Amino acid sequence: MGLQFIPYDTNIDFVGKKSFTFAFSIFLTIGAIGAFFWKGLNYGIDFVGGYVLEVRTSEKADLSGMRKTLSDLNIGEVSLQEFGSPQDVLIRIPSLEGDARAWAASLERVKNALGASVEIRRTETVGPKVGKELIENATYAVILSLLAILVYIWVRFEWQFAVCGVIALVHDCVILLGLYSLCHFLEFNTNAIVSFLLTASYSIHDTVVVYDRIRENMKKIKSMPLPDIINLSMNETLSRTVLTTVTTLLALLAMCCFGGAIIMEFSFSLLVGFSFGGFSSVCLSAPLLLHTGLKNTKKTPTSA
């Protein structure tokens, strides 16, 4: 017999609490949108252009000293962070005005300021034009993925399921966008786009499990009202949802704590995205079906 984390006879009234969960989600969504327009995003080099240097110092890197030295060069807002070990530092410098010669001269100034004791291990350059194309392609990727999910659920279930599933996905992505707006230590780069797509895929996976059980119960218990069917289905799949979400979040939490600075940013965004993905699959996507006109029309015929 498998592990039953949630008692089999659990009977939580999710539908009865939908007003609270809907209000909570609306509040978070409005807050996330407000944060986006208020603070914007901390675009990484991938989007704004510039260059990235990976350097290694002979001893533990003095990040504050290096930051002051590079800031005195007046080359824009310089970002430094440890990369793997205390001796390895990742330096991000935004796009600078001028042609390729000006860029090369600025890069040479950075190398001279760091000194001969600092080893330049890697240099990457991203032009502003490439960054603009990345923003457009990333936007298309997210929109097309949501449309593909909409079509898939529409074909597999009914249009009501598709609409509610995509609303829940948009909710998760908007909250993740708000996270990047509020937490400017998180760079909005190509890894951020990956976290959006992974959050959407994780959320819809949980949602489809719940939808499958709702459809199965609608066929099996034809005389039960739809709110009761939704509650029954959500309670029947609750153990699976909780176990899957908790084990995934524990792995992401370990990556946040022990994975280093670069992995921490990515895993932290996934930690938040997956948390709300699990929340929306239980508390949003299924209860929303009651507001789409979906009915359990296959009633058992009454005897004459």
Three-state DSSP at 78 gives coil
Clarify whether residues 95 and 149 are in a common domain: no
Tens-digit pLDDT profile for residues 290-303 = 888 777 665 444 33
When pLDDT is averaged across residues 217-233 and rounded to a whole number, the result is 83
Locate all alpha helices (DSSP H) within 73-224, ordered by sequence: 100-114, 128-156, 159-182, 190-220
Residue 125 has pLDDT above 80, yes or no: no
Confidence of residue 1 (pLDDT cuts 50, 70, 90): very low
Residue 206 has pLDDT above 80, yes or no: yes
- CATH of residue 65: 3.30.70.3400
When pLDDT is averaged across residues 177-184 and rounded to a whole number, the result is 88
Clarify whether residues 96 and 161 are in a common domain: no
∠ CA 44-33-209, rounded to 5°: 90
Please give the tally of structural domains in the chain.
Answer: 2
Q: Is 303 among the domain residues?
A: no
Q: Which of 126, 143, 158 is the last residue before a domain boundary? A: 126
Clarify whether residues 106 and 191 are in a common domain: no
What span, in angstroms and rounded, lies between the C-alpha atoms of 211 and 217? 10
User: What is the separation of C-alpha 154 from the centre of its chain, rounded to a whole number of angstroms?
Assistant: 24
Three-state DSSP at 224 gives coil
Clarify whether residues 219 and 272 are in a common domain: yes
Q: What is the mean pLDDT of the chain?
A: 79
Three-state DSSP at 122 gives strand
Looking at residue 15, the DSSP 8-state letter turns out to be G
Clarify whether residues 257 and 278 are in a common domain: yes
Angle formed by the axes of helices 190-220 and 260-283, nearest 10°: 20
Residue 2 has pLDDT above 80, yes or no: no
pTM for this predicted structure: 0.74
Tens-digit pLDDT profile for residues 262-284 = 688 888 889 998 988 888 888 88
pLDDT of 300 reads 41
Clarify whether residues 224 and 263 are in a common domain: yes
Contact 210, 286 (CB under 8 A): yes
Q: How many other C-beta atoms can be found within 10 angstroms of the C-beta atom of residue 55?
A: 22
User: What is the separation of C-alpha 150 from the centre of its chain, rounded to a whole number of angstroms?
Assistant: 19
DSSP 135-172: HHHHHHHHHHHHHHHHHHHHHHS-HHHHHHHHHHHHHH
pLDDT of 34 reads 92
What span, in angstroms and rounded, lies between the C-alpha atoms of 280 and 177? 16
What is the residue range of 85's domain? 50-126
Clarify whether residues 101 and 235 are in a common domain: no
Confidence of residue 131 (pLDDT cuts 50, 70, 90): low
Confidence of residue 191 (pLDDT cuts 50, 70, 90): confident
Tens-digit pLDDT profile for residues 57-105 = 877 877 778 777 877 777 666 777 777 677 788 777 776 555 566 667 7
Clarify whether residues 21 and 156 are in a common domain: yes
Clarify whether residues 191 and 275 are in a common domain: yes
Q: Is 23 among the domain residues?
A: yes
Minimum mean pLDDT range among 149-153, 161-165, 247-251:
149-153
Clarify whether residues 189 and 242 are in a common domain: yes
Clarify whether residues 192 and 271 are in a common domain: yes
Q: Is 10 among the domain residues?
A: no
Confidence of residue 26 (pLDDT cuts 50, 70, 90): very high
DSSP 255-285: HHHHSHHHHHHHHHHHHHHHHHHHHHHHHTT
Q: Which of 78, 110, 126 is the last residue before a domain boundary? A: 126
- Containing H/E element for 83? strand 79-83
Residue in the structure block whose two tokens are 């909780």:
242
Q: Is 278 among the domain residues?
A: yes
- CATH of residue 211: 1.20.1640.10
Confidence of residue 24 (pLDDT cuts 50, 70, 90): very high
Q: Is 9 among the domain residues?
A: no
Beta strands 85-94 and 50-56, pairing class: antiparallel
Clarify whether residues 190 and 282 are in a common domain: yes
pLDDT of 102 reads 66
Q: Is 300 among the domain residues?
A: no
Q: Which of 88, 110, 126 is the last residue before a domain boundary? A: 126
Size (the chain), residues = 304
Q: Is 298 among the domain residues?
A: no
